[in-house]
Amino acid sequence: MKPVLILSGLGLLALFAEMFRFRRALYPLLLIGVAGAVASAVSYIGFDDGEMSEYIKTMISFDAFAIVASTIMLVTLLLWFVLARDFFSDENNVADHSALVLFAVVGAILLTCYKNMTMLFLGIEILSIPLYVLAGSKKTSLSSNESAFKYFLMGSFASGFLLFGITLIYGATGSFDLGEIGAAVSNKTVLPGYFFAGIVMLLVGLLFKVSIAPFHFWAPDVYDGAPTPVTALMSTVVKTAAFAAIVRLFVSPVFGGVSDFWLPILGVCTALTLVIGNVTAVVQTSVKRMLAYSSVAHAGFLLMAVASGSVMAIVNPFAVKGVLFYAAAYSAASIAAFTVLLIVGGKSGDVSIDRFNGLGKKNPLVAVVMTIALLSLAGIPPTSGFFGKYYILTAAFQGGHVWLAIIGILGSLVGVYYYFRVIIAMFFRDANEETVTATSEHQGLLFVTAVIIIVLGLLPDLLFNFCDMAMVAMQPVQ
């Protein structure tokens, strides 16, 4: 709970920066504050004994799962702040930018620890509304405005579905509380039909947020149009949070009892997402847009873990840990890749694939880190991305979804094609005359992310045992 308080306080403080004229000091304050939030999240480790962790009656439970998921998000956020240094250099907007980001992350953390449907809805809204604004924060750019508008329209539509779903489920079970819903699901022999309609609506709302096909159409345009730092935030922290929310509902006793109903839906959506995301990424010429489509494909992989999460209503530990590990690995690689996009894009922001030509000669550090990040995204060992895929594929095998695993493997092969196009451009094509220079902060960030990717690729247990802790919160209610 402390991280939520710290970040909210920091957000309020940021709003005052304008008034009390400490705009220049704000950025360092943000870094310290987020580091503090990480420390406070970590400080909960080992203190999960039910009673202690519940807040606002039983609306929030900052349990082991929430600790692990929010630690991963907060560490990513810290790295993201280094990536987005320029985003906070514009003096006119520094205060609102920082406040919006911080509030969005507060919403993200609520999504990892809600125990009540209303908190789920609040979390999603607190997360989304700042993001609508952030997507349009490049005020003079047409595509940024388009992106914000699209995101807002489609997002509010999805929120409507989500709310409708929650209402129907409330009608069927008589409660917003996850524990009571779970009990109602397992006790009642016959559930009313609108309960299932509620689940479908809930799914539509949530799957929209994580850009799962066929609800993914907004994602490439929004990702492409939004300023690059915002895109980086959306594809790392936001994605992790939304999947944490899905896991809490579906890979748990809450809806585990009716998995027969929703598993086929998730299965089909997973397969569709893997195919559409990977195939469409192939034909993109802008690297940013390619990453946007590939992010859709990665969401498909994460959903595969959710689909394999409950085997006969028993939580499959590999799936839960797989989601967390995959999200962390994907975040690390994405932060690296988006940093490189910022560096290569420079002032013009043009990141078509030709801009990467000869990067290996022009700036070897940037090119090598980009290669490591892309290898990780493609899932080639010894990078962390490989282990993310490995855990999820194993979970899929255990869950009996061999066909999904095969689609996943074929999808990764297609993935190799579009990721390697960038690598080939960097090392094989001739360079143009422009120089590419990275600030020392970005260089440091690239180095750190590369080390994270490789170390987690060689010793995945470091993170995996940490994720193991999350399982404490996932044991079925007796």
- Which residues form the interface with another protein (CB under 8 A)? 321, 360, 375, 380-382, 386, 390, 393-394, 397-398, 405-406, 409, 412-413, 416-417, 420, 424, 427-428, 459-461, 464-465, 468
Cβ proximity to another protein: between 196 and 397 the closer is 397
Q: Please report how close the Cβ of residue 461 comes to another protein at its closest, in angstroms.
A: 5
Q: Please report how close the Cβ of residue 398 comes to another protein at its closest, in angstroms.
A: 7
Q: Please report how close the Cβ of residue 111 comes to another protein at its closest, in angstroms.
A: 26
- Label the pairing between strands 310-311 and 314-315: antiparallel
Cβ proximity to another protein: between 22 and 390 the closer is 390
Element (H, E) at 21: none
Q: Please report how close the Cβ of residue 10 comes to another protein at its closest, in angstroms.
A: 35
Burial code (b: 16+ CB inside 10 Å, e: under 16) for 419-435 equals bebbbebbbeeebeeee
Cβ proximity to another protein: between 335 and 405 the closer is 405
Q: Report which DSSP code applies to 215.
A: S
- The position carrying tokens 């990780």 is 376
Cβ proximity to another protein: between 84 and 405 the closer is 405
Q: Please report how close the Cβ of residue 426 comes to another protein at its closest, in angstroms.
A: 10
Q: Are the beta carbons of 207 and 269 closer than 8 angstroms?
A: yes
Cβ proximity to another protein: between 80 and 419 the closer is 419
Cβ proximity to another protein: between 149 and 390 the closer is 390
Q: Token pair for residue 58? A: 């039983």
Cβ proximity to another protein: between 220 and 317 the closer is 317
**Residues in contact with 179: Cβ distance below 8 Å, sequence separation at least 6, in sequence order:** 58, 115, 477
Could you tell me the CA-to-CA distances from 278 to 73, 240, 257, 339 in Å, in that order? 25, 20, 32, 22
Torsion 115-117-119-124 (CA) sign: positive
Q: Please report how close the Cβ of residue 397 comes to another protein at its closest, in angstroms.
A: 6
Round to whole Å and give the CA distance between 91 and 351. Answer: 26
Element (H, E) at 27: helix 23-42
Round to whole Å and give the CA distance between 88 and 436. Answer: 22
Round to whole Å and give the CA distance between 228 and 225. Answer: 8
Q: Please report how close the Cβ of residue 460 comes to another protein at its closest, in angstroms.
A: 6
